[in-house]
Structure 1
Amino acid sequence: MTIPPDFPRDAAAVHESTDRLLVSLGKLDDAAVGEPSLLPGWTRGHVLAHLARNADALVNLLTWARTGVRTPMYASTAVRDGDIERDADRPLAVHLEDLQESAARFGAAAQALPADRRAYEVEMRNGVVERADRLALRRLAEVELHHVDLGVGYTVEQLSPAFVDSELDFLTGIKFAGHPDLPALELHGDDGRQWHTGRSADGASAAPVVVSGSPKDLVGWLTGRADGGRLDTHGAALPVIPPL
């Protein structure tokens, strides 16, 4: 069953997730910031710079939803990528300050969004259209998954059940629903729940690939944060997930 967005609840979850991230970062030093993250080609500093600028990009979209005045996430892809490269090598203290200040701006923009504007649709990067009341969930995914990408001890196992549920709904119901590069999937959670995604399995198509496991392991596999080794494919090959 799809979980409807609850904007105040989701915005509060973003705040809590950011606090967990900052606690993890407090254990690092400047040298650690320059070390490779779990994302190919990015140091931890790249991940942190991206997280800060993503918060500001989502502030732009919340402002658009509140005012009705088109405010793109980023001026351009080149500007987005340039900002990340520019800021990646900063000292840890500067990254921490930027993350805290950008998180505060996001929180203020979320607080300022009137209830009657939450259904307003805005355009995200790459032309994806999204309702304003789902932007907090979008930010939550950024913070939670990139926390894992930092390689600082925060793993898929530590993702909150509430985030896992919302992310499974998003991935199966929106991101990969009807995706031409993903075979029809029937996902079975070890708690008895099921999700369907990928190409439609109709009478002319092969039966869906059944993949079973814990919701956290399913999210880890679908987001590329785990190899799916703990999932059961019931004799079939585990499909390759397209890039997010």
Structure 2
Amino acid sequence: MALSNGSCCKIGPSILNADLSNLAAECQRLVDAGSDYMHLDVMDGHFVPNLTFGHPVVKCLRPKLPEVFFEMHMMVAAPERWIESMADAGADMYTFHYEATEDPVGCIRKIKEAGMKAGMGINPPTDVEVVLPYIDQLDCVLIMTVNPGFGGQKFIAECVPKIEFLRNKFRNLDIGVDGGVGPKTIQECADAGANLIVSGSALVGHENPQECIATMRAIVDSALQKIHLER
């Protein structure tokens, strides 16, 4: 998957709520339904209270899904520690949290040196302006609309203005949104200017994921077209 420079919708299922005992098949099912990439949540029990999986699982997934773009959402303390391992496992993008590192510049540099794209996520309480010094070095910014650590949480609408702030300043930035995003909340995210759509339980558990993806994609692409025409 090539990122879109903010110009079109890309949808990445968050497989945290999928059947983790059958992860490769679940990922393939969602790719077949029209997903653009896989958003893989890595949690360490320190930065967030939950635990998921690490680079050995990614290494096992890569041969089974050789063409699929893997975005690693690293909800971990000291994200610098896992950059090389994730790159070696076959990750394509490494999204770390601003709140988790004392050296964002060094973290971004190591990610790029390892051959991956670099993303930065911010939690709901974090001021969006903290990302501004790093924008030129990042491939995307991920706005969390839930507190990270668990799937199935309620969408925090108060985070949406962060998306709008970034889109107003950076027309060609890839802006992701993650947390409680699905058909019921996608319009708010789209109107604000998000184009990388991470959807967990609303998509993964949908009885017709293909229809769900098509609906969200149409809403986002329509909103982006309007935004780009107006600015």
Bigger relative contact order (CA 8 A; separation at least 6): 2
Higher strand share: 2
TM-score, structure 2 as length reference: 0.33
